[in-house]
Protein backbone atom coordinates (compact mmCIF):
# COMPACT_ATOMS: atom_id res chain seq x y z
CA UNK A 1 0.00 0.00 0.00
CA UNK A 2 1.35 3.44 -0.96
CA UNK A 3 2.27 5.87 1.80
CA UNK A 4 0.39 9.14 1.66
CA UNK A 5 2.06 12.43 2.45
CA UNK A 6 1.17 15.99 3.15
CA UNK A 7 4.14 18.16 2.37
CA UNK A 8 4.87 21.87 2.05
CA UNK A 9 7.10 21.12 -0.96
CA UNK A 10 4.50 19.08 -2.85
CA UNK A 11 6.86 18.16 -5.71
CA UNK A 12 8.51 15.75 -3.24
CA UNK A 13 5.53 13.42 -2.88
CA UNK A 14 5.94 11.35 -6.08
CA UNK A 15 9.74 11.53 -5.87
CA UNK A 16 9.79 10.11 -2.34
CA UNK A 17 7.31 7.37 -3.21
CA UNK A 18 9.50 6.31 -6.12
CA UNK A 19 12.73 6.55 -4.11
CA UNK A 20 11.26 4.41 -1.30
CA UNK A 21 10.81 1.55 -3.77
CA UNK A 22 14.35 1.68 -5.13
CA UNK A 23 16.12 -0.57 -2.55
CA UNK A 24 13.56 -3.31 -3.23
CA UNK A 25 14.01 -2.83 -6.98
CA UNK A 26 17.76 -3.31 -6.58
CA UNK A 27 17.18 -6.42 -4.46
CA UNK A 28 14.55 -7.86 -6.83
CA UNK A 29 16.74 -7.24 -9.88
CA UNK A 30 20.18 -8.17 -8.54
CA UNK A 31 19.63 -10.06 -5.26
CA UNK A 32 19.85 -13.52 -6.83
CA UNK A 33 23.13 -12.76 -8.61
CA UNK A 34 26.36 -14.32 -7.41
CA UNK A 35 29.09 -12.21 -5.82
CA UNK A 36 31.15 -12.55 -8.98
CA UNK A 37 28.23 -11.24 -11.06
CA UNK A 38 27.77 -8.28 -8.71
CA UNK A 39 31.45 -7.42 -9.17
CA UNK A 40 31.76 -8.11 -12.91
CA UNK A 41 32.49 -5.29 -15.32
CA UNK A 42 33.30 -5.46 -19.02
CA UNK A 43 36.27 -3.10 -18.63
CA UNK A 44 38.00 -1.09 -15.92
CA UNK A 45 36.37 2.18 -16.96
CA UNK A 46 32.84 0.81 -16.46
CA UNK A 47 31.48 0.25 -12.96
CA UNK A 48 30.12 -3.09 -11.79
CA UNK A 49 26.64 -3.46 -10.32
CA UNK A 50 28.18 -3.27 -6.85
CA UNK A 51 30.21 -0.19 -7.74
CA UNK A 52 27.08 1.53 -9.06
CA UNK A 53 25.37 0.88 -5.73
CA UNK A 54 28.41 1.99 -3.73
CA UNK A 55 28.62 5.13 -5.85
CA UNK A 56 25.05 6.06 -4.88
CA UNK A 57 25.83 5.53 -1.19
CA UNK A 58 29.03 7.59 -1.47
CA UNK A 59 27.36 10.38 -3.41
CA UNK A 60 24.31 10.66 -1.17
CA UNK A 61 26.43 10.66 1.99
CA UNK A 62 28.31 13.71 0.72
CA UNK A 63 25.05 15.66 0.92
CA UNK A 64 24.12 14.60 4.46
CA UNK A 65 26.34 17.21 6.13
CA UNK A 66 24.92 19.94 3.90
CA UNK A 67 21.37 18.82 4.70
CA UNK A 68 22.15 18.75 8.44
CA UNK A 69 23.54 22.29 8.25
CA UNK A 70 20.33 23.45 6.58
CA UNK A 71 18.24 21.73 9.25
CA UNK A 72 20.24 23.23 12.12
CA UNK A 73 20.18 26.73 10.66
CA UNK A 74 23.98 26.78 10.39
CA UNK A 75 24.07 26.87 6.59
CA UNK A 76 24.76 30.11 4.78
CA UNK A 77 23.87 30.88 1.19
CA UNK A 78 26.95 30.36 -0.98
CA UNK A 79 28.19 33.56 -2.61
CA UNK A 80 27.35 32.30 -6.09
CA UNK A 81 23.94 31.24 -4.78
CA UNK A 82 22.93 34.90 -4.77
CA UNK A 83 22.89 34.93 -8.58
CA UNK A 84 19.68 33.41 -9.92
CA UNK A 85 21.03 32.90 -13.44
CA UNK A 86 24.00 30.90 -12.06
CA UNK A 87 21.82 28.75 -9.78
CA UNK A 88 19.50 27.95 -12.68
CA UNK A 89 22.40 27.23 -15.03
CA UNK A 90 24.10 24.87 -12.55
CA UNK A 91 20.84 23.13 -11.63
CA UNK A 92 19.97 22.49 -15.27
CA UNK A 93 23.52 21.46 -16.18
CA UNK A 94 23.85 18.89 -13.40
CA UNK A 95 20.29 17.59 -13.79
CA UNK A 96 20.82 17.01 -17.51
CA UNK A 97 24.10 15.25 -16.72
CA UNK A 98 22.32 12.68 -14.52
CA UNK A 99 19.29 12.00 -16.69
CA UNK A 100 18.57 8.33 -17.34
CA UNK A 101 19.55 8.87 -20.97
CA UNK A 102 22.27 11.51 -20.66
CA UNK A 103 22.97 13.78 -23.60
CA UNK A 104 26.66 12.99 -23.21
CA UNK A 105 28.83 10.81 -20.98
CA UNK A 106 30.32 12.65 -18.05
CA UNK A 107 33.07 11.72 -15.62
CA UNK A 108 32.23 11.76 -11.94
CA UNK A 109 34.03 13.99 -9.47
CA UNK A 110 36.66 12.20 -7.38
CA UNK A 111 34.67 12.86 -4.19
CA UNK A 112 31.82 10.72 -5.57
CA UNK A 113 33.99 7.78 -6.71
CA UNK A 114 32.86 4.50 -5.16
CA UNK A 115 35.33 2.35 -3.25
CA UNK A 116 36.77 0.03 -5.88
CA UNK A 117 36.58 -3.03 -3.67
CA UNK A 118 34.60 -6.22 -4.21
CA UNK A 119 31.09 -6.20 -2.73
CA UNK A 120 29.11 -8.99 -1.14
CA UNK A 121 25.36 -9.35 -0.79
CA UNK A 122 25.58 -7.01 2.21
CA UNK A 123 25.54 -4.16 -0.34
CA UNK A 124 21.73 -4.50 -0.50
CA UNK A 125 21.33 -3.88 3.23
CA UNK A 126 23.86 -1.05 3.06
CA UNK A 127 21.97 0.60 0.22
CA UNK A 128 18.61 0.17 1.95
CA UNK A 129 20.01 1.74 5.16
CA UNK A 130 21.52 4.72 3.33
CA UNK A 131 18.39 5.23 1.25
CA UNK A 132 16.34 5.44 4.45
CA UNK A 133 18.78 8.04 5.82
CA UNK A 134 18.59 10.05 2.60
CA UNK A 135 14.79 10.05 2.60
CA UNK A 136 14.70 10.92 6.30
CA UNK A 137 16.88 13.98 5.61
CA UNK A 138 14.66 15.00 2.70
CA UNK A 139 11.47 14.66 4.75
CA UNK A 140 12.99 16.74 7.56
CA UNK A 141 13.95 19.41 5.03
CA UNK A 142 10.30 19.86 4.08
CA UNK A 143 10.17 22.61 6.73
CA UNK A 144 12.12 24.97 4.43
CA UNK A 145 11.20 26.48 1.07
CA UNK A 146 13.12 24.35 -1.42
CA UNK A 147 12.91 26.99 -4.13
CA UNK A 148 14.50 29.67 -1.90
CA UNK A 149 17.11 27.55 -0.13
CA UNK A 150 20.46 27.26 -1.88
CA UNK A 151 23.52 25.09 -1.44
CA UNK A 152 26.70 24.23 -3.24
CA UNK A 153 27.62 20.80 -4.49
CA UNK A 154 29.94 18.83 -2.20
CA UNK A 155 32.16 18.48 -5.27
CA UNK A 156 32.69 22.20 -5.89
CA UNK A 157 31.70 25.46 -4.20
CA UNK A 158 31.20 27.00 -7.62
CA UNK A 159 28.37 24.56 -8.45
CA UNK A 160 25.33 26.06 -6.74
CA UNK A 161 21.66 25.20 -7.02
CA UNK A 162 18.39 25.32 -5.13
CA UNK A 163 17.55 22.61 -2.62
CA UNK A 164 14.77 21.53 -4.99
CA UNK A 165 17.28 21.04 -7.78
CA UNK A 166 19.68 19.21 -5.44
CA UNK A 167 17.00 16.71 -4.42
CA UNK A 168 15.76 16.23 -7.98
CA UNK A 169 19.37 15.63 -9.07
CA UNK A 170 20.06 13.07 -6.32
CA UNK A 171 16.91 11.06 -6.98
CA UNK A 172 17.25 11.16 -10.76
CA UNK A 173 20.89 10.13 -10.34
CA UNK A 174 19.77 7.02 -8.47
CA UNK A 175 17.48 5.98 -11.31
CA UNK A 176 20.30 6.48 -13.80
CA UNK A 177 22.63 4.13 -11.93
CA UNK A 178 19.92 1.53 -11.43
CA UNK A 179 19.48 1.52 -15.19
CA UNK A 180 23.26 1.38 -15.78
CA UNK A 181 23.48 -1.63 -13.47
CA UNK A 182 20.62 -3.37 -15.30
CA UNK A 183 22.31 -2.73 -18.63
CA UNK A 184 25.37 -4.68 -17.44
CA UNK A 185 23.24 -7.81 -17.26
CA UNK A 186 22.39 -7.39 -20.97
CA UNK A 187 26.04 -7.59 -22.01
CA UNK A 188 26.75 -10.72 -24.05
CA UNK A 189 29.74 -11.60 -21.86
CA UNK A 190 27.93 -11.07 -18.53
CA UNK A 191 28.82 -14.16 -16.45
CA UNK A 192 26.09 -16.75 -16.03
CA UNK A 193 27.13 -17.62 -12.45
Residue 50: inside a domain = yes
Q: Is residue 2 part of a domain?
A: no
User: 49-72 and 163-185 are packed helices; what angle lies between their axes, rounded to 10 degrees?
Assistant: 170
- Whether residue 68 lies inside any domain: the answer is yes
- pLDDT tens track for 4-15: 567 899 999 999
According to the model, what pLDDT value does residue 100 have?
62
Query: Smallest Cα–Cα separation from 113: which of 40, 62, 42?
Result: 62
Give the range of the structural domain holding residue 47, as residue numbers without chain letter.
12-185
Give, rounded to a whole angstrom, the gap between the first and last alpha carbons of the chain. 35
Q: Residue 190: inside a domain, yes or no?
A: no
Residue 34 lies in a domain: yes
pLDDT digits over 30-74, tens only? 999 999 999 999 998 899 999 999 999 999 999 999 999 999 988
Dist CA 170 CA 134 (whole Å): 10
Mean pLDDT of 162-171: 97
Weakest mean pLDDT among 109-113, 166-170, 177-181: 109-113
CA atoms within 13 A on the CB side of 172: 17
Q: Cβ atoms within 10 A of the Cβ of 79, count?
A: 12
Check whether 178 has a pLDDT greater than 50. Answer: yes
Give me the CATH number covering residue 110. 1.20.120.450
Residue 180 domain flag: yes
Least confident of 100-104, 119-123, 178-182: 100-104
The number of distinct structural domains making up the chain is 1
Residue 3: Cβ within 10 Å count: 8
- Kindly report whether the global pTM for this prediction surpasses the value 0.85: yes
Q: Is residue 7 part of a domain?
A: no
In a domain, 85, yes or no: yes
Amino acid sequence: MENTYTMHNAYLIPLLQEAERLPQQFLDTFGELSVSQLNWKPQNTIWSIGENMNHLITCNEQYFQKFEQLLSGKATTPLLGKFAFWRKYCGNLVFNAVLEVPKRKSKTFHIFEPPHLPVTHSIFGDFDHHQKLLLQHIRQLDQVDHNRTYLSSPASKSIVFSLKDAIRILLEHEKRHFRQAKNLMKQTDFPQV
